Structure 1
Amino acid sequence: MKARLEKYGPNKLTARKKKSILQLFLAQLQDWLIYVLFAAVVITVFMGEYIDAIIILAVIILNAVLGVVQEVKAGNAIEALQKIAAPKALVRREGVVKEVDSETVVPGDVLILDAGRYIAADLRLLESANLQIEESALTGESVPSPKDATITLKAPNTPLGDRDNAAFMSTLVTAGRGSGVVVGTGMQTEVGKIATIIDTEEEIKTPLEIRLNKLGKSLGKFAIGICVLIFVVALLQGRDLAEMFLISVSLAVASIPEGLAAIVAIVLSIGVTNMSKRNAIIRRLPAVETLGSVNIICSDKTGTLTQNKMTVLRYFNSEGEVAVEREKENPSTDDAALLAKAMVLCSDATYENGEGTGDPTEIALLILGDDLGIDRQALGRQSKRIDEFSFDSDRKLMSTLNEENGRYTVYTKGAIDNLLQLTTHVHIKGQVVPISEQHKQQVQEATARMSGQALRTLGVAYKPVDTVIGADEMEQDLILLGLVGMMDPPRMEVKDSVRKAKEAGIKTIMITGDHKITAFAIGYELGIADHLDQAITGQEIDRLSETEFSEKVNDYRIFARVSPEHKVRIVRALKAQGNVVSMTGDGVNDAPSLNAADIGVAMGITGTDVAKNASDMILTDDNFATIVSAIEQGRNIYNNIRKAVLFLLSCNLGEVVAMFITLMIGWEAPLIATQLLWINLLTDSMPAVALGMDPGDPDVMKEKPRSPNESFFTGIAGWRVLGGGILIGTLTIFAFWFGYYEHGYTPFDDVVPVATLENARTLAFMTLVACQLFYALAMRHPTKSIFQLGVFSNRYLIGAIVLGLALQLVVVAVPLMRKAFNLTMLDTPGWLMVLTLGLVPLLVNELGKIYLRARKKQQSS
């Protein structure tokens, strides 16, 4: 045993060495926007603007800390696997059975299995007696899998769910007993393969992270270019080099929206808080924005699309086939009541106050009794079980002998084909008559119909006896009562969510370990698939090459009988076709695909710790509908971030245009370094954050998903930035000229009084800020007017504008501040000019929106 332990290693899951906190922190700084911000810190320190430098540095550190916290949380999937895969094991060694730590189990050991015990390694079964194992975490099946050690599998790549002669690490024995030889330990087990997939999956940046990185590169190059160009122009024009260096550096800093990183973090954090109130917990902040790009939702079936609760939907007896309505009054005849009574008494399960114990199938039969008006408590008091003939996989039947008021009755349930061979009579409307071939044909047809609807069928019979009889006599000369059809039914609200997602351009795909027919039946009912050709199994996937599968993957809506490796392959193939994929799941088998997807969504109630730790988002209500709601919120959050980005760039471009053009034509600089930095501080903070908190657009789900490659400037967005920036810059230049004109001078004059220059700069300073603040209102929506949105619907933005204007007045009105910024008090024409010019960008945008709405209406008519 020691030799084998040295050869194969301890029976535990391993993970690659974790990065230290310092390494994680430094990794958060590897971003172009961060590099640009560091440059801004150095420049502002050089200029003596220490407060600005501290603020920018605080933004950088805050973002890095948030990133580290999120990454630490996201790195726990392997640890969760290690926890669930470390039970005690009952081992037979040298003829002696003893309990050992699971880590010491080695290939070749024989493990003893009994009910309630977790399996410590992968096994080939040697013995099985009514052995059933809960494998939903690996296979996705909602009921325990029966095992049979005598079976020999012929197909080399048999799906996990069909390996009836094997048992797997971390699964739970729910009934029976058995033994098996260990064939895989540690990372060589099926759970170990999942751990390997999780551990080797590369982390992919979200679309938002990619866009911000590109934007950071572009802004950095632009800032350096502006700085160099203005300094060269100043050199050629013979200006004061020290002053011009300060101005050019200030303008370079002003062209960089250093508040952008903080604004994005704030908007995402607010979005995360709001989403948590609506049952969606986000584990990685950038994942919020990625939701807005999702165009495919890959969903696990059991517990996500379905209720994860076996339920009897139909029963068949002498009166025909009858649908069972849950939580409604069902008409119950004597024959139906007898059928339900037989099912209740031939059961080992319990069900009280909405909680059940035992086999899910038997729990469903108890609930059927409740639905048909059976008083199970009274029945339990009146009936006493005398004996039973337990279920086994050969007979596929279970029988009990019950005493009721001094009379004895046998009740038998099980596979209908086996039951028909043992029945000699049939119960019809209170009468017992000999069973005929016609009766058998009717039962078989009902069974076929239910099976065609993916229902699991179960027959029931009975017979009265005079005395206590042995087990070998119970299943003879039975009287057939009928059969029931059951399944794990779909969630009621999912169908509407699938339809809503479809209208929003989002395709729903089911990926499950369940059988193809069962999966298709659920998919068809929910509107996921229209015909069986849209379903494919894991074995069929294996017959396709990577290229063939990638080309055909978009044709399928249902993937059935798949392994964890298949799930990852499906997600990667969908992503290779340019899709942004959300994957939902709850089991250990879902963890690799959750990790591989753009957005991994785990179930909060039924989900394993492994699934939760591998995910980007957790649903606290396990509801598929919450995913669609989260996508809607994700789209609105992205739109808000985009508004903030476009607003900041428009404002910064306005500053660059005003400074660059005036300097190029030989005028004095309309703004000095301190004024530029003040404007940047004012407009890069409050209005931009307020735009990021804009109420969601109710029409956002009428749009198609965004392409992950779409830039911030797609469509008219780029023109809005360019047009807005040029307009704001031009108005600032005009205000600067008007400041000279008021005093009888022009900017081209060689000799101008200091008071005139200060008046011109004050006008330019006030106009630029007013334009930017009012322009924020226009940025709330690309086509809807501020009146359609509601002028005061974003109270944060109104507050930011009012506060911004108030701070400007303080700077001009307070003598000390006025002197610090080299400003002067404006006269009445000056104030009117500021107000008029400040409203122009907003009015121009509103007129442009009227034109865009009219053109859209004309195109749609």
Structure 2
Amino acid sequence: VSTGMDTEVGKIAGMLQSAQETETPMGKRLEQLGKILGYVALGICVLIFAVGMLYGNHWLEMFMMAVSLAVAAIPEGLQIVSTIVLAIGVQRLVKLNAIVRTLPSVESLGSTTVICSDKTGTLTQNKMTVVEGMVSGNRIDFRNPPVPEELSDDERILLNSSLLCTDAHLKMLPDGTHENAGDPTETAIVDIALALNLNKNEEDRKYPRVSEVPFDSERKRMATVNQMADGKLRVNVKGGLDEVLAVTTHILMHGKVRTITEEDITTIRNENNRMAKSALRVLSVAYRDIDRLPDRVDAETIERNLVFIGMLGMIDPARPEVVEAVKKCKTAGIRPVMITGDHKVTAVAIAAEIGIYTEGDKAVAGNVLQEIPDEELYRDIEKYSVYARVAPEHKVRIVKAWQSHGDIVAMTGDGVNDAPALKQADIGVSMGIVGTEVAKDASDVVLTDDNFATIVGAVEEGRRIYDNILKAIQFLLSANVGEVLLIFIASVFNLGNPLTPIMILWINLVTDSLPALALSMDPAEKDIMTRHPRDPKRGFFTRGMTWRIFYQGMTIGLISLAAYRIGFNDGGQQLGQTMAFAVLAFSQLLHVRNLHSNRRSSFRTSPMSNKALVLAILASAVLMLIVLFLPAIRDIFKIVEMDGVHWLYVVGLSFVPIVVVEAVKLLGINHTRDEY
């Protein structure tokens, strides 16, 4: 006998404790990007210094220009902005009833291609109601239940055995009323019995439980031993049909017990299939009277030679929002699949009702899945939409099979045994209401409402977060390209230094970082859930992204250079630097509006759709105006006052990026097909 960390639960706990905190993939890519930009900046700095020396410029002046370029080339706020955007996204996910436990999962959410979802409570309401039954070959319609006094003896035995073989009970409240306590499947039995004047608590007192064999996922049945009024002991068993029939030798038929026949079994199976096709969960009930308890009470000693009584069919309605969520998944290129412990026929019926199972799909039961070799399962995994009668250990194989196709898999789970599958999945999703603490510890996301639609909402939010990070990267890099281009051209053509280091630092601090952060609050684009999932291996720099950074940065750089030359010609280097500084700052603040969408005109997006961005732009603009107008601060920045004509130049040039980007969008060349 193993104890502590050597038990199966202990091994799972050890696995969870050994989990390492990992940096987000995006963080790693940004760190790599920063290094690349650093090397590029160093190379350009050396080049500019060398060119300046060839022109005969003073080495200190060229050194200062090279330092300015280095400051301009490296977007210092990139890593910070991405981390803050992720953190803000996590807070938004909490409002959607999804608690994110690991930052990398926020990125993975947007790339999800497969959602493996439990049925009960996630796709359905987990509110079971007994609606049908079968005993002595006759159907019982519990939607219109019989009068309690008119129940037949066989019907009473069916209800009594199923009630005694139930751990749920009635919890009495201070006001004299009661509520159910226990598993929803079992509370459904308690409810229907109470409607027929059979009180669970009273039945337990009348027929006390003396022993039991608890339910487990392998046997798929449970047994209790109760002391009956005549002094005998009765073994009451309930569970799945196949599992109960496997230990049944007799049948109760119209008050008499006789040997069960193949004809009886065929009739029972047909009735079970009929209920299952109506999306009912079917429980079979059997019993056996014994004189005394065996020395060893277990499944082998008491779950044998049973008398089959009948079946109860209960419905667990689908959550009303699930059908729409499944449609949204499929439109977004995400494959939803159902994993359940229910009978395959029942599972298929429910999956078809909510849209997961469609014509041409396949369903597989756990016992069949177990016999399929890994190679065959990995090859055919995409054919299956429903996995029925699945044990927790099967979930790991299912996840690995999907992952073998390069899919990003989200897997739900709530039990201790689900922990390995939750860890194996790219995104482990545990249930906040019914989930165990072990499952929560193994997961990346905890659903506080146990709802499938919340997973889909979290995926949508994950896509929005990633989109907004890309917007921030595009904004920061296009701004930095503009700064680098301005200084580089001025240096190569010996036009003097258009910006001082303090100007560049101010722009990077004020007009870059604040709007970039505010972009994280941008709402999702309307088509965000009609795109296919993003390939997580794909870097930031798609052809479209590279093109936008280049031409938008070039636009900002050239208009800033134009402002510098206008000011330089009219009033010398200080006026030129002042105008370049102003145009560079204000053009970036106006340019941020271009980032709302890479395809749609920015004028089709209300400025108030992102109030944080409006405030960030206004705050940055006010700070810039303070620098430009207050004499004391102007002296620190070594800038001069501009007259009305020069301000007209500044305003006009600052609007050029909006005109250029709108024209490029209108021509349909602002993005490439590989992005959408």
Same structural fold, with TM-score higher than 0.5 when normalized by the shorter chain: yes
Contact 2:117 2:337 (8 Å CA) reproduced:
yes
Change (3 A) 1:716 1:322: farther
State the match for 2:300 in structure 1: none
Contact 1:400 1:412 (8 Å CA) reproduced:
no
Q: How many angstroms apart in 2 are the aligned matches of 1:398 and 1:839?
A: 83
State the match for 2:487 in structure 1: 659
- Give CA deviations for 1:58-113 in whole Å, capped at 9, x if unaligned: xxxxxxxxxxxxxxxxxxxxxxxxxxxxxxxxxxxxxxxxxxxxxxxxxxxxxxxx
State the match for 1:334 in structure 2: 147
CA shift for structure 1 position 537: 3.5
Instruction: Tell me the TM-score normalized by structure 1.
Output: 0.64
| Residue 800 in structure 1 maps to residue 619 in structure 2 | no
Q: How many angstroms apart in 1 are the aligned matches of 2:546 and 2:131?
A: 56
Contact 2:125 2:317 (8 Å CA) reproduced:
yes
> What is the 5 A alignment of 1:473-488?
483-486=311-314
CA shift for structure 1 position 760: 1.4
> What is the 5 A alignment of 1:641-652?
641-652=469-480
| Residue 674 in structure 1 maps to residue 487 in structure 2 | no
CA shift for structure 1 position 727: 0.5
| Residue 694 in structure 1 maps to residue 533 in structure 2 | no
| Residue 848 in structure 1 maps to residue 664 in structure 2 | yes
Contact 2:599 2:671 (8 Å CA) reproduced:
no
State the match for 2:216 in structure 1: none
Q: How many angstroms apart in 2 are the aligned matches of 1:292 and 1:503?
A: 14
CA shift for structure 1 position 668: 1.0
| Residue 257 in structure 1 maps to residue 75 in structure 2 | yes
State the match for 2:654 in structure 1: 838
Contact 2:568 2:574 (8 Å CA) reproduced:
no
Contact 2:430 2:443 (8 Å CA) reproduced:
yes
Any gaps of 5 or more consecutive residues in structure 2?
Answer: 172-177, 214-218, 293-306
| Residue 456 in structure 1 maps to residue 298 in structure 2 | no
CA shift for structure 1 position 534: 4.0
The amino acid that maps onto 1:717 is M
Question: What is the DSSP-based 3-state SS (H/G/I as helix, E as strand, rest coil) of the residue aligned with 1:284?
Answer: coil
| Residue 618 in structure 1 maps to residue 480 in structure 2 | no
Change (3 A) 1:776 1:571: same
State the match for 2:254 in structure 1: 425
Change (3 A) 1:734 1:458: same
Change (3 A) 1:505 1:310: same
Contact 2:423 2:443 (8 Å CA) reproduced:
yes
Contact 1:343 1:366 (8 Å CA) reproduced:
no
Q: How many angstroms apart in 2 are the aligned matches of 1:587 and 1:291?
A: 22
Question: What is the DSSP-based 3-state SS (H/G/I as helix, E as strand, rest coil) of the residue aligned with 1:794?
Answer: helix
Question: What is the DSSP-based 3-state SS (H/G/I as helix, E as strand, rest coil) of the residue aligned with 2:608?
Answer: coil
CA shift for structure 1 position 611: 1.6
The amino acid that maps onto 1:796 is A
State the match for 1:93 in structure 2: none
State the match for 2:62 in structure 1: 244
State the match for 1:827 in structure 2: 643
State the match for 1:163 in structure 2: none
Question: What is the DSSP-based 3-state SS (H/G/I as helix, E as strand, rest coil) of the residue aligned with 1:852?
Answer: coil
CA shift for structure 1 position 239: 1.2
State the match for 1:111 in structure 2: none
Contact 1:281 1:619 (8 Å CA) reproduced:
yes
Change (3 A) 1:391 1:635: closer
CA shift for structure 1 position 538: 6.9
Q: How many angstroms apart in 2 are the aligned matches of 1:300 and 1:383?
A: 32
State the match for 1:227 in structure 2: 45
User: What is the percentage of aligned positions where both structures have the same residue?
Assistant: 41
Q: How many angstroms apart in 2 are the aligned matches of 1:855 and 1:772?
A: 20
Change (3 A) 1:852 1:444: closer
CA shift for structure 1 position 460: 8.8
Q: How many angstroms apart in 1 are the aligned matches of 2:22 and 2:632?
A: 52
Change (3 A) 1:396 1:680: closer
Question: What is the DSSP-based 3-state SS (H/G/I as helix, E as strand, rest coil) of the residue aligned with 2:406?
Answer: coil
Change (3 A) 1:675 1:311: same
Instruction: Tell me the TM-score normalized by structure 2.
Output: 0.80
- Give CA deviations for 1:327-378 in whole Å, capped at 9, x if unaligned: xxx4334389727766555533523444325x876532222245xx54556x
Contact 1:341 1:369 (8 Å CA) reproduced:
no
CA shift for structure 1 position 778: 0.9
Give the stretch that moved more between structures: 642-651 or 837-846. 837-846
The amino acid that maps onto 1:334 is V
| Residue 276 in structure 1 maps to residue 94 in structure 2 | yes
State the match for 1:299 in structure 2: 117
State the match for 1:782 in structure 2: 598
CA shift for structure 1 position 585: 1.2
Q: How many angstroms apart in 2 are the aligned matches of 1:577 and 1:243?
A: 58
CA shift for structure 1 position 773: 0.6
State the match for 1:368 in structure 2: 192
Q: How many angstroms apart in 2 are the aligned matches of 1:544 and 1:771?
A: 61
The amino acid that maps onto 2:91 is T
Change (3 A) 1:412 1:652: closer
The amino acid that maps onto 2:51 is V
Q: How many angstroms apart in 2 are the aligned matches of 1:444 and 1:624?
A: 32
Q: How many angstroms apart in 2 are the aligned matches of 1:617 and 1:575?
A: 19
Q: How many angstroms apart in 2 are the aligned matches of 1:419 and 1:608?
A: 34
Q: How many angstroms apart in 2 are the aligned matches of 1:532 and 1:785?
A: 41
The amino acid that maps onto 1:299 is S
Any gaps of 5 or more consecutive residues in structure 1?
Answer: 1-181, 325-329, 404-409, 428-435, 462-468, 473-478, 744-754
CA shift for structure 1 position 556: 3.0
Q: How many angstroms apart in 1 are the aligned matches of 2:64 and 2:141?
A: 82
Question: What is the DSSP-based 3-state SS (H/G/I as helix, E as strand, rest coil) of the residue aligned with 1:712?
Answer: coil
Q: How many angstroms apart in 1 are the aligned matches of 2:89 and 2:203?
A: 58
Q: How many angstroms apart in 1 are the aligned matches of 2:402 and 2:547?
A: 33
State the match for 1:37 in structure 2: none
Q: How many angstroms apart in 1 are the aligned matches of 2:322 and 2:564?
A: 61
| Residue 544 in structure 1 maps to residue 373 in structure 2 | yes
The amino acid that maps onto 2:443 is S
The amino acid that maps onto 1:762 is T
Contact 2:284 2:312 (8 Å CA) reproduced:
yes
> Out of 177, 180, 189, which is 1:355 matched to?
180
| Residue 815 in structure 1 maps to residue 631 in structure 2 | yes
CA shift for structure 1 position 207: 4.0
Q: How many angstroms apart in 2 are the aligned matches of 1:612 and 1:265?
A: 24
Give the stretch that moved more between structures: 508-517 or 790-799. 508-517
- Give CA deviations for 1:787-836 in whole Å, capped at 9, x if unaligned: 32202222222222222222222112111211221211111110001001
| Residue 586 in structure 1 maps to residue 402 in structure 2 | no
Q: How many angstroms apart in 2 are the aligned matches of 1:259 and 1:517?
A: 56
State the match for 2:557 in structure 1: 729
State the match for 2:566 in structure 1: 738
Contact 1:389 1:471 (8 Å CA) reproduced:
no
Change (3 A) 1:845 1:565: same
> What is the 5 A alignment of 1:65-104?
none
Q: How many angstroms apart in 2 are the aligned matches of 1:673 and 1:540?
A: 66
The amino acid that maps onto 2:506 is W
- Give CA deviations for 1:413-436 in whole Å, capped at 9, x if unaligned: 968979995645379xxxxxxxx9
CA shift for structure 1 position 504: 1.1
Give the stretch that moved more between structures: 730-739 or 335-344. 335-344
State the match for 2:174 in structure 1: none
Q: Work out which structure has the larger RCO, using CA pairs closer than 8 Å and 6 or more positions apart in sequence.
A: 2
Number of aligned positions between the proteins: 629
Question: What is the DSSP-based 3-state SS (H/G/I as helix, E as strand, rest coil) of the residue aligned with 1:579?
Answer: coil
Q: How many angstroms apart in 1 are the aligned matches of 2:420 and 2:204?
A: 50
| Residue 287 in structure 1 maps to residue 116 in structure 2 | no
State the match for 2:385 in structure 1: 557
The amino acid that maps onto 1:592 is P
